[in-house]
Amino acid sequence: MPTVIRFLLCLTVTLSVPVQAPAFADENVPAAVRLGLPDFTVLVERYGPAVVNISTKQSALYGPQDFGEEEGLGEDSPLYDFFRRFFGEEGPLPEDGENGRSLGSGFILSPDGYVLTNSHVIEAADEIIVRTSDRREFVAKVVGADERSDMALLKVDGTDLPAVEIGTAADLQVGEWVLAIGSPFGFEHSATAGIVSAKGRSLPTEDYVPFIQTDVAINPGNSGGPLFNLDGKVVGVNSQIYSRTGGFMGLSFAIPIDVAMDVVDQLKEKGRVSRGWLGVLIQDVTRDLAEPFGLSHPRGALVAQVRPDRPAAAAGLRDGDIVLAFNGKEVSTSSNLPPMVGAAKVGTEAMLTVLRNGETLELPVLLSELPEEEAFAVAPGQVEQAAADRLGLVVEDLTAEERERLGLSDRGVIVESVESGPAQQGGIRAGDIIVSFDNEPVPDTKRFRQLLDAVQPGESVAVLVQRGDGRMFYPIRIPAE
């Protein structure tokens, strides 16, 4: 039989098979489900009552003019609206006209009245009002607040209150549908949906929270509200947005519920939050820095400074070490490390996997508690003019008095000036203190020139620089001759 006939017979048989109606064609099934889309109606109906509106009474109101002025960020700065808090603009005044404003959202954790929200929602509040979906109002007491995670735990007098179910952010997948319920611009109990865009995001203002990024429409007033998965369980707390206008632009950030509930437990137990601490200053390993540290590609957290008499120093960690893992968990970027260390219990031993001079080491470290504030005072010294080297640098030795002020007992040369050349292109500035060069300590200008002369043309080196109250590695490629 010719091939074409066999094809026609097969086609005829195929077309003769009756077409069955899809199982979801039942009119009783929601339209969204029939179209293959997620249906949030049951979720909103069941858990919406556990979402509350939070307003406060304050002696003073804060507006957008407060944002960034102290940091020198005016409205013309591209960073002015970057990761600003949700409430840079005044919300609507309460209906009775009293001095206060509707700040944000929250959700009830338990029927006995524990409520979770963001700490910036209740900041500077004289009185906190929690309003439920059935229009009941409660005056809330603050159990505790944690500024670093931006979480606050409230308590209202109530019984049999509707409560959410707590899930976990660990199982979230990028692309998964999620739902937010809150009070954007004071419009209470508004529901918006989207997907998880990314996990483990690090924001400039938060070191200890691995944020969930979503494209859920979040606006001023959503802050502190819950982020649900399709099972109806809370997986995050909406906290920040990326915006150049103060409104939604497609980038929203939520605190993982696992982080939030750890804060809740500590606030209930002792009224404060403690976090693990290493006592190091770290930076990302860039492509330019990977080569001088012997890495085939950028990864890990580069230790720019080990603070003296801190856990990392006691464990033997050194400037120039690259932390590749913490307690067996990979550290792919420097932003991964602070949340891992912060989540570890104070007083426990952790294991650091470190790359040092091309060799992998395992260093046990006993974690201490992260202090409330940490700062050093650094006073730049004065130097005399000297000749520029092949990097375009003019460096001078530090005096004994300068070393004492800078906390540099045995190393460091100061950059007097920077001419056009590799050092300037690498980011080094006048007034910087060069602490090490190509992973070798720099005690004086003589040793600095020896180290510089030893580098072959075309090679890339890492220069450790102290600037202000911190240190950072800068990659510099020695020019080919």
Given this model, what pLDDT does residue 398 score?
A: 85
pLDDT-derived band at 11 (thresholds 50, 70, 90) equals: very low
Selected catalytic residue, list 55, 102, 149, 150? 150
Which residues lie across from 191 on neighbouring strands? 181
| Region for residue 68 given its phi and psi (left: phi exceeds 0; alpha: psi -120 to 50; beta: otherwise) | left
Q: Are 466 and 398 in contact (CB under 8 A)?
A: no
Report if pTM > 0.85.
Answer: no
Whether residue 223 lies in the annotated active site: yes
Whether residue 444 lies in the annotated active site: no
Q: What is the DSSP letter of 74?
A: -
Given this model, what pLDDT does residue 424 score?
A: 85
pLDDT above 60: residue 373: no
Mean pLDDT rounded to a whole number for the chain: 81
Domains of the chain, earliest start first:
43-270 (2.40.10.120), 276-369 (2.30.42.10), 393-477 (2.30.42.10)
Task: Give the torsion through C-alpha atoms of 267, 270, 276, 282, to 10 deg.
Answer: 50
Encoded tokens for 435: 């602490």
- Identify which of 176, 179, 180 has the alpha carbon closest to the alpha carbon of residue 197: 176
Rounded Cα distance, 432 and 80, in Å:
28
Could you please report the per-residue DSSP string of 26-59?
-TTS-HHHHTT----HHHHHHHGGGEEEEEEE-S
Selected catalytic residue, list 105, 120, 197, 334? 120
In tens, the pLDDT along 427-481 reads 888 889 999 998 888 988 888 888 888 888 888 889 999 887 788 999 888 877 5
- The single residue listed with the structure tokens 């670093």 is 148
How many other C-beta atoms are found inside a 10 Å radius of the C-beta of residue 190?
Answer: 20
pLDDT-derived band at 100 (thresholds 50, 70, 90) equals: low
Encoded tokens for 161: 């209150």
pLDDT-derived band at 382 (thresholds 50, 70, 90) equals: very low
- Identify which of 443, 444, 445, 419 has the alpha carbon closest to the alpha carbon of residue 430: 419
Rounded Cα distance, 201 and 385, in Å:
45
Selected catalytic residue, list 105, 149, 183, 223? 223
Whether residue 297 lies in the annotated active site: no
